[in-house]
Structure 1
């Protein structure tokens, strides 16, 4: 068993013991438990002050301001890594989880749609509207998540994905011979193969050291994560290819959610909307602010923004990733992709 798996198992044991010790409310009638309030647990994948943490605290704020319930937030590493917190949520140890499709894709292959390059616009001001109004996201995805015992509450963008590397790169040829870290996501691996690199799946906890020792020569993440994780210290060349938005999803354990009263279900939905609305105004401009911090902190950082012509060389390779997505997901993936594109077109034409 790996250290990461041991950490996750230990965390699960601790959490199970904690739940057992605090189970008095669970044994009481639902009305009594609601009157006294329950303590719910919520885990996400990021550090203090990062986007998912801001979202979680806005969610907590609404829950605690409008009910007797309390919310306990667990940040990255406190309960293991992304796979661990998903397992804890499916087991009912956690009530809520925030996890990107980059990891959920192993459970729900269709969630990998967010890794088709140049599908989601990175510069459109309407991207938030897409998440709010998309039939693919709000009608089709909840059914897929439900099959895994998860109640999908929302999806939201965290900002443009930026590649960092050991040298500036402006073409697919520049990525040849480079090991680029990817999340444990087959379609993201397909993307970097198409881009000319060698995809190297690694859990987040190993990325900094792997960059530092040149096991990998690059990785991708939104700018705020590159800043908060210090990745620019060991991978100082930032490359804006414009190929994707980083997307994440917030979910509940479905058995827990279905067991809530109608009043508490509405509370959770309203808290989700409250957090989403805050993030919709928080994320725009965040990348540039974090880039300024990076540039203030390091004289070694370079910033390469690909021109329209340079992006085209990467864009031309996107169809093979899209075709692979359909091969991996079959009819359900093809229908989802068709609706996804229709939703994007409708919103851009509004």
Structure 2
């Protein structure tokens, strides 16, 4: 057996031991403890997903009077995105997954990540909380995986580009190589004339530092968490996509709880998400100032430049995704997002 294989066997064994408590029939326990895994450090200052997880934990434990407790496992303690997805499909746990984790099991969710889909935070909130296509996606996701998608968590604002040379418009990408989170970003970079290569989060800083890649895209939160300002000189606030992750709950776990406890978990998830949205959006200007003070040159594209980014990236993204999922998902998502944008605009003008 290879060293990698041995390490993975040890990981599986440790997981089985670690999950033994929650695999005991829930009715047999005086109190139910649920393990909750997610990316990033357990710091509220930098990690919005931790803000969500901690708030969720507090609400659940308070409202259930301790009959349900949550053990937080940040920093991907239960494995990488793909490993954690497999675990939440098999065991009664909670996992917060990124698009990277969803990619292999439910590519339909990528319809909600079409570039420049939302004009505002409010429009994204309306879409993810109440759009018809999200209701259909949730239902289909559970059908395919046996997992419940309770909330779409705002993780750090809209996505921006960082780079070693200025990027003011798509033509500035030509000839560059960028780190991609998934295949959808590779398609986007290609439309701009750049090449993209997927790299795990843990390798991004070094790749930027040694020039293996020239840039990357992430919300400002992750630019700070990753200390990319040390190895990237330029930041372009193109607001390409709404940055989110997905709260996933094993269905067997939910069915093992009482009706009241299930209701509390659902309500707590939504309340924690509202809390996190307020936190994330209140930090945007502070994060821009922080990065400027760290020496980054910050550029906000003009409306004409933004339109050009959209004109190039959106068709390329849709073409890529149409080869993977039914086009109906994409068309309904775009239509529902348009309605959400209009509704958000109407509310703003009231």
- Which category describes the TM-score, using the shorter chain as reference length? 0.7 to 0.9
SS of the equivalent of 2:95 reads: strand
Corresponding residue number in structure 2 for 1:112: 110
Q: 1:282 to 1:10 in 2, by over 3 A?
A: farther
Contact kept? 1:8, 1:79, Cα under 8 Å: no
TM-score (norm 1): 0.88
Q: What CA deviation, in whole Å up to 9, does each residue of 1:228-262 have, x standing for no partner?
A: 22111112311111221112110101222223221
Gaps of 5+ in 1: none
Instruction: List structure 1 segments (4+ residues) > 6 angstroms apart after TM superposition.
Output: 1-8
The worse-fitting range, judged by mean Cα deviation, of 327-336 and 195-204 is 327-336
Gaps of 5+ in 2: none
* d(CA) in 1 for partners of 2:231, 2:4: 23
1:248 correspondence with 2:255: no
Corresponding residue number in structure 2 for 1:132: 129
Corresponding residue number in structure 1 for 2:278: 281
SS of the equivalent of 2:77 reads: coil
TM-superposed deviation, 1:281: 1.5
Corresponding residue number in structure 1 for 2:174: 176
Q: 1:7 to 1:191 in 2, by over 3 A?
A: farther
TM-superposed deviation, 1:324: 2.9
SS of the equivalent of 2:324 reads: helix
Corresponding residue number in structure 2 for 1:308: 303
Corresponding residue number in structure 2 for 1:324: 320
Aligned residue pairs, count: 338
Contact kept? 1:227, 1:291, Cα under 8 Å: no
Corresponding residue number in structure 1 for 2:336: 340
Corresponding residue number in structure 2 for 1:42: 36
* d(CA) in 2 for partners of 1:180, 1:131: 29
SS of the equivalent of 2:323 reads: helix
Corresponding residue number in structure 1 for 2:210: 213
SS of the equivalent of 1:289 reads: helix
Q: 1:289 to 1:345 in 2, by over 3 A?
A: closer
TM-superposed deviation, 1:336: 3.9
* d(CA) in 2 for partners of 1:212, 1:201: 16
* d(CA) in 2 for partners of 1:4, 1:237: 38
Corresponding residue number in structure 2 for 1:156: 153
Match 1:232 to one of 229, 232, 237? 229
Q: 1:327 to 1:333 in 2, by over 3 A?
A: farther
Q: What CA deviation, in whole Å up to 9, does each residue of 1:31-66 have, x standing for no partner?
A: x53xx2111000112222211110001110011112
Corresponding residue number in structure 1 for 2:73: 74
Contact kept? 2:141, 2:148, Cα under 8 Å: yes
* d(CA) in 2 for partners of 1:213, 1:9: 33
TM-superposed deviation, 1:292: 2.1
RMSD of aligned alpha carbons:
2.5
TM-score (norm 2): 0.88
Corresponding residue number in structure 2 for 1:192: 189
